[in-house]
Amino acid sequence: MVGIVSYGGYVPRRRLNRMSVIQEMGWYIPALMMVANGERSMCNWDEDSLTMAVASARDCISGFDKSKIDGIFLATTTPPFADRQNAGILATALNLREDIVTADFASSLKSGTTALISAVESLKSGEKKNVLVAASDHRRTKSASFYEMWFGDGSASLLLGNENVIAEYKGSFSLSLDFVDHYRGESQKFDYTWEERWIRDEGYAKIIPQAINGLFKKYGISIKDVAKVVYPCFISREHKGIAKKIGASKEQVVDNMHEVTGETGSAHPLLMLTAALEQSKPGDKIVVASFGQGSDALLFEVTEHITKLAPRRGVKGSLENRKEEASYAKFLKFNDLINAETGIRAEAATQTALTTLWRNKKMILGFVGGKCKKCGTLQYPKTNVCVNPKCNAFHTQEDYEFSDKEAKVMSFTGDYLAVSVEPPVLYGMVQFDGGGRTLLDFTDCDLENVQVGQTMKLSFRKKYYDKDRGFTGYFWKAILK
């Protein structure tokens, strides 16, 4: 039996109230009021598609033996690197084995489901036992546009394997069609889109039903055999229209999440599938379809193992962990849509020494420290000498992962003089449970809410961006648990 073994989800904590866009830009495009209900997810300034993929993947593989993962596929249309394997960075951040297959799936919003099918095929061949699929997108648009209101940021991950399967893979049907509803040229920052009516009538309304009905015909089932059907469509009216075309009832159709996240690109079918799995029971059949230069439609059947899966944050937990953002100006700055003064201190050199990054990749990207084999002392970073003054042994440290350890705040500072997109810069000394301490930046928290003794956990984030060379540097930061 091959299928989904675990799931994980991540939606950024910040949610932009769509009415804040109307308040600032309604004078410019009054019609935006038509889609201003609810809120959309938005990345913090130090988040992108890769950091979100790390977050959802960590949620997905929590409690599993990482050494058994044989491959990792990352699907995104907004990769931080055009020519550096993003899945390789993800694997390093997760501290996976080096002898695994990593691959990026890109250039289409259906890349998430395509990666899912590819993972299943590699498992069915017997070459792999467990493959992790992560889909993530940080979708930038021009300001004050309908797409700014429709889109959102998020990630979902699925671990596929052949043991303790919670949702068995039953089959798939794919369409490859060069239907161009939008595109982004090689040197362009934003998507170019065609008119909504074209996308609605010739795209969503025809392609998704064709894929789902093709799946039904291929495997001899009907909509009556399905408990839940998942498909993306940011046009709410057409989302309901597709349900009518395939004969699905309101109860069978999973919500498109417009009012709570917006559409999260290549991640959205997997994010909606995760939401469906959170509410499913053994025996339920779930159909998930994607959209983007065609469509993939996949069929899963939930097994009794879903009742044994340990709780995880998933979509439900991510949606509950929210902070409303009423400042549209902050959203614009976080997405580099306004050019604000950052001061002379921001002119400091940010070139990354690639040799240093390579030699210290475990320490920087994986947050791996050391444990003394002689006295058991934990420390970060790992060094040649044990920091325990009663030990001071040489070359006795073995690798020790700190990324999944909780820590307590020992001291902290709110620095208004340091360069920051959102001052003040928060940082402090943290003490890890079991031993080890280090100085870290804090994120996703406010100065007035931080206290000595509070419990923190680690989150993989952007540390800096070298605009001259187009290089994003990553590191781990502390967030309130």
Q: Which helix (H) or strand (E) holds 111?
A: helix 111-124
Q: Are residues 289 and 348 in the same domain?
A: no
- Rounded to whole angstroms, how far apart are CA atoms 466 and 357? 15
Q: Are residues 415 and 278 in the same domain?
A: no
- Asked whether residue 380 is assigned to any structural domain, the reply reads no
CA-CA-CA-CA dihedral for 108, 113, 115, 121, to nearest 10: -140
- Asked whether residue 399 is assigned to any structural domain, the reply reads no
- Rounded to whole angstroms, how far apart are CA atoms 301 and 166? 8
Name which of 33-37, 98-102, 208-212, 385-389 the model is least confident about.
33-37
The pLDDT score that the predictor gives to residue 105 is: 98
pLDDT band at 341 (very low <50, low <70, confident <90, very high): confident
- Asked whether residue 365 is assigned to any structural domain, the reply reads no
Q: Are residues 348 and 296 in the same domain?
A: no
- Asked whether residue 360 is assigned to any structural domain, the reply reads no
Report the CATH number that the domain containing residue 59 is assigned in CATH.
3.40.47.10
Choose one of 334, 364, 385: the last residue of a domain.
334
Q: Which tokens sit at 400?
A: 């020790």
- Asked whether residue 269 is assigned to any structural domain, the reply reads yes
Q: What is the DSSP string of 264-282?
A: -GGGHHHHHHHHHHHT--T
Contact 318, 303 (CB under 8 A): no
Q: Which helix (H) or strand (E) holds 408?
A: strand 407-415
pLDDT band at 344 (very low <50, low <70, confident <90, very high): confident
The pLDDT score that the predictor gives to residue 346 is: 85
Choose one of 334, 364, 390: the last residue of a domain.
334
Q: Are residues 300 and 348 in the same domain?
A: no
- Asked whether residue 72 is assigned to any structural domain, the reply reads yes
Neighbours of 48 (CB within 10 A): 24
pLDDT in tens, 104-157: 999 999 999 999 999 999 999 998 999 999 999 999 999 999 999 999 999 999
Choose one of 299, 334, 369: the last residue of a domain.
334
The pLDDT score that the predictor gives to residue 56 is: 98
pLDDT band at 50 (very low <50, low <70, confident <90, very high): very high
- Rounded to whole angstroms, how far apart are CA atoms 222 and 247? 9
Boundaries of domain holding 203? 3-334
Contact 18, 150 (CB under 8 A): no
pLDDT in tens, 286-339: 999 999 999 999 999 999 999 999 999 999 999 999 999 999 999 999 999 999
- Asked whether residue 238 is assigned to any structural domain, the reply reads yes
Q: Which tokens sit at 213?
A: 């009905």
Q: Are residues 262 and 213 in the same domain?
A: yes
- Rounded to whole angstroms, how far apart are CA atoms 141 and 134? 23
Q: What is the mean pLDDT of the chain?
A: 96
CA 233 to chain CA mean position, Å:
19
Q: Are residues 285 and 348 in the same domain?
A: no
Collapsing DSSP to helix, strand or coil, 220 comes out as coil
Q: Is pLDDT at 345 greater than 90 in this prediction? A: no
pLDDT band at 27 (very low <50, low <70, confident <90, very high): very high
pLDDT in tens, 302-316: 999 999 999 999 999
- Rounded to whole angstroms, how far apart are CA atoms 393 and 226? 62
Q: Which of 238, 261, 243 is nearest to 253 (CA)?
A: 243
Q: Are residues 286 and 141 in the same domain?
A: yes
Q: Are residues 427 and 320 in the same domain?
A: no
Q: Are residues 309 and 348 in the same domain?
A: no
Q: Which tokens sit at 169?
A: 């893979």
Q: How many domains does the chain have?
A: 2
Cis peptide before 424 (omega within 30 of 0): yes
- Rounded to whole angstroms, how far apart are CA atoms 246 and 210? 9
pLDDT band at 343 (very low <50, low <70, confident <90, very high): confident
Strands (DSSP E) contained in 246-309 are 285-289, 294-302
Q: Are residues 126 and 176 in the same domain?
A: yes
Q: Is pLDDT at 348 greater than 90 in this prediction? A: no
End-to-end CA distance of the chain: 37
- Asked whether residue 372 is assigned to any structural domain, the reply reads no
Q: What is the DSSP string of 149-193?
A: HHB--EEEEEEEESSS-SEEEEEEEEEE----SEE--TT-SS-EE
Q: Is pLDDT at 349 greater than 90 in this prediction? A: no
The pLDDT score that the predictor gives to residue 221 is: 97
Percent of the chain topping pLDDT 70: 100
Q: Which of 334, 292, 328 is nearest to 48 (CA)?
A: 334
pLDDT band at 432 (very low <50, low <70, confident <90, very high): very high
Q: What is the mean pLDDT of residues 23-43?
A: 94
- Rounded to whole angstroms, how far apart are CA atoms 112 and 258? 19
Q: Are residues 427 and 318 in the same domain?
A: no
Q: Are residues 75 and 187 in the same domain?
A: yes
Contact 5, 159 (CB under 8 A): yes
Q: Is pLDDT at 347 greater than 90 in this prediction? A: no
Q: Is pLDDT at 176 greater than 90 in this prediction? A: yes
Collapsing DSSP to helix, strand or coil, 34 comes out as helix
Contact 64, 132 (CB under 8 A): no
pLDDT in tens, 199-247: 999 999 999 999 999 999 999 999 999 999 999 999 999 999 999 999 9
What is the pTM assigned to this prediction?
0.97
